[in-house]
Chain A
Amino acid sequence: MRRVIEFVVRFKNYITLCSLVVMSFAFMSVGSLSQLGGFRAVIVGSIGWIQSLFAWVPNPVALKSENTALRELNLQLSIESSRYRQAMVENGTLRNMLLLPTYTDDKLIAADVVGKTNTELRNYATINRGHDDGIKEGQAVVTDAGLVGTVIGTSAHYAILQILLNRDVRISARVYRSNVDGILTWEGEQFLSLKNVPRTYDVKVGDLVVTSNYSISYPTNVVIGRVSNVSDESNSLFRKITVTPSVNFSTMDQVFVIDKLPNKERVHLEDSITHRQLQKAMSR
């Protein structure tokens, strides 16, 4: 017994290290913060409360960047406005001709961004609306510029958004001009990458990228960004497409949560089919 105690005392540093490393791995196997139930709500609430206390502190760098972005947006909007007016007239005529049903816009819940966590490449934002305001996990979040991300956690008065610049984000996206589909992911810096687009497909720099109708998590045709670079890799069948997001995440201070959850029937159907196919494959 004495020897054991002597051994433990002698190697306490290594024993502690090993124990804590094992504990860390155990925590990792539990999963992300969003899987920790009530603990998540406490953290979200606390962070939101602290961030809202200091939300008034201006960020001069962000303000300058926002100013530039707003000027660009203003110019872009004035051009688009005239196009839009023209398109509205054309659209009305075509709808009447085809007798298409008018679509209803989903309800939008406005929220202020009270905090951003973009340290060490974990990009989340905290908003001052929670489940008491009708915010639910899984809802998509947009700004006037385009898609921001999804709600991943809520407390009574706050919610945490997982923005597009996050390693866990996978979006079924479409190049608006040519209807080319792909999967949008983040690979660091301020850009997104459109994957699974064969080299023969038509994608050009400047093309608008929107959410695809294949996407369960996001509404269809929400602007994500524009293609900023297209290159063909020598040893790959696919193109390397870089997309610059339309939303300036560093200056984003107001967002709109779309009060719509993924269609449960569709999710259930797709899940059951996938499950059945998996079972078939395993039984073979």
Chain B
Amino acid sequence: MAKYSERAPTMANPVFRGISYGVAAMLLSVVHVVFLRFIAVGSITPDLMLILVVWVALIEGQFTGTIAGFACGLLFDAISGDVIGTNALAKTIAGFVAGYFFKPGFGIAIIGNYRFLLIVTLAGLIHNLLYFTFYVRPMQVGFFEFVLTYGIATTLYTTVVAVFPMLVVNRR
């Protein structure tokens, strides 16, 4: 972490970090609405915003991670046209859970490690379980069948995509 701060001193400023997270969330939103259909497998796509939430939770802690989850979830709900609040709820709790793995000064070390993938998987599973609870409720399909088909597939795809930030941080 010390080495990382030396290389990028501006990132030590919490305000600058907050702005950069906001910009990252906006960019991911654009990527989500424009480019994600190109890598969609069936209707399964990775949840880039969840990766950002886990990242924030591991770098900034549980408190900020929870708030970031809520903010990213609201943004996601707005751009995806779904019921406002469903993603906000799921990502808030995902950010809170990811925050349990926060260790001051070791955030970058965790992200550059396979543990990041495990945390993304765990947060993704909890996120999808919660999200599909609200999603499947009005439909006449089996909840577990739906979660097994889409929830786990989305989580796995998100975990695969999370390998890229892990490798980038790892190489640094």
Contacts and interface: CB of A to CB of B under 8 A. Distances in A.
B92 interface: yes
Contacts of A124: 80-81
Contacts of A24: 70, 73, 85-86, 88-89, 92
Given A20-B88, A167-B138, A119 B96 contact: no
Contacts, number: 140
Contacts of A188: 139, 141, 146, 149-150
* Most central of A31, A121, A190 by chain B CB within 10 Å: A121
A28 B83 contact: yes
* Most central of B43, B77, B96, B131 by chain A CB within 10 Å: B43
Given A26-B85, A27-B88, A123 B74 contact: no
A116 B154 CA distance: 18
A230 interface: no
B21 interface: no
Main secondary structure of the interface of B (DSSP, over half): helix
A20 B45 contact: no
Contacts of B93: 17, 21
Given A28-B134, A32-B82, A117-B33, A23 B43 contact: no
Interface residues of A, number: 50
Interface stretch (B12-20, B61-69, B109-117, B159-167): B61-69
9 contacts: A13-B62, A17-B96, A24-B88, A43-B79, A50-B33, A54-B35, A119-B43, A122-B80, A186-B139
Interface of A: 12-13, 16-17, 20-21, 23-33, 36, 39, 43, 47, 50-51, 53-54, 57, 59, 61, 115-124, 153, 160, 165, 167-168, 185-190, 195
Q: 10 tightest CB-CB pairs across the interface, nearest first?
A: A27-B85, A24-B89, A28-B85, A119-B45, A20-B70, A24-B88, A24-B85, A27-B84, A20-B92, A54-B34
